[in-house]
Structure 1
């Protein structure tokens, strides 16, 4: 009888879905099985709802939490992104004025992964995918109303990964303390779709997200593009693990002015920069910049060509208490462009307490910085110390708090 009831509900709901336009919320299908009910979601969510841990939710295309609507996700819930490339990639989008309340726990993290992942209700990890499986769906996109700095000094802009023709996707504004909700103990795996040049869906995209938003204990695993990218905004983020992303681990743009505190970056063989840090794209710049502190950067070994950091577009940033090890001999901190060199000279890019295990063949930290104006390289070298092993470090992330992560379960650190 239970299966019949679910079948009738599914048929009735499907009929509603087909009678609505594409902006309406839809439960496309419900499948009752031994591992819980699989519920496929698509389109706009226009009323408050809760996703529960006894079901698996499948994102079919973009699922958008509309303005004025709250999506609550229970601890331990598994959400899977359907297959689809380019503009058809699946993603969960929290639109401006919408809110997500996704508060997992260390024992019951909320997991976003691919529909190809065989993880089931009650599990923390499937058995059929590895870090080689990337780009299988999109990612999680949160859009707020905090200030941004973009070309033309526009107050708002359309986020990467969402076509400009869509009715959602704007971010930015003037509300520094804007609140998009809570993300805690979230693991995002096997996503990251490339749509075009400089147009991708990252593992976690934060567009104009305000300081009223709580983002804490976040893991991004095997993402095709960047693990986490900020586009302006003021949100602070704590306790982050990124593992084996295809491009950059931590990417900040458009005069983000928050703080990242306690992060572990574990590079993969194809990773680009551990830290890709950009400045404002418009005339507006936050004079205090952003702060990244208490971070451990673990490279991919002696053959790695990844950069420790790529400092671009006249950024203003404070980079404190950084441990780096297991990088290759060509890995550098790159001061990228005349505008960034100018900011370094002016003391608006600061380094404090970096400790680095030098790669084989590298004899001094002075070899690790490029692109600075003559004499300004000392702003890095005077604050960077060579150490013999990561175990000797006095700075870096507190990795003890990451025992709940996928990365820990596969002994990535």
Structure 2
């Protein structure tokens, strides 16, 4: 088994090497003046539980520290000089703003007071805020530059906040990274609460990728336990390629059953990173790999009203197929123009042909026998052992029952 695990990790490592960018110079976070009128600028509020390095080239390491907030500005080259969906790292320093992503400002902020002041200055009249939580195997600069790309390419009209947790950015530190997400739950909760308490903020969208979805769901679960519900300003939660055990997700969702936020999940059955994660985690389905059109998941989704967008047929440059949501121009713009705006997505209005499928069935829309059974026997369905023998259709899929919905899907 040990040899098998090593083989899996070696294959995974090889895939990551193939999909990664060429080596880049250290020090991309050192700010340089950017006066080119043709570039776009993205101002980010960066909240992190990483340990400071006190080195301006890196700012923060992958080790664990206390919550710190920073204001970072990133410039994006003109669209004619770049590929939408890609982060263009400089090949040498100083970066060329006309061709490279470039850091033009780094300013430390006082915790809470600094976040509030940043929101004062950056929340527009629409009151929209997006909080992004990155995934496994990310350096500090990886996460910051990727979110700047998402904000720019999605054209989302939001005040962007990124929460970056302590990742050692090594595929061999999977367990350390997972524990780091657990370590960071209270800090992310604090960031969400501070944003929700701000008078200019009207709507909060939380988007998380990969292992960051575990952190996000755990923080929201904590809020629901403390307050009895998720605060109303948290309108949308987007889980992209969620590295989440489906049984665990069902329990997290159950706690949020009193007026939960709208949930959208991006999945892809060809996600190679999640295949490795599934093997590591005892061969339990990962949420990011489910087929929403097949049982037991279809019936459960019909009962919850959760939207699942299937990206399996979509082809991008990521050879692991784990970052499709950010690398596809159509998908990243779907996030900014539709999901953040609070619009409903269905398979008839996505407009991307057969490359993307969507399951967006609300309560009462074709709810099948499996969902009906869930209403009468929720406890039996929640127990994994009983569930497997009770009804094959809802194997490995928790059903959350309460009010107007009965189930959870998860990864």
TM-score bracket for the superposition, by shorter chain length = 0.3 to 0.5
Q: TM-score, normalised to structure 1's length? A: 0.34
Which has the larger share of strand? 1
TM-score normalized by the length of structure 2: 0.34
Report 1 or 2 for greater relative contact order, CA contacts < 8 Å, sequence distance ≥ 6. Answer: 2
Structure holding more helix per residue: 2
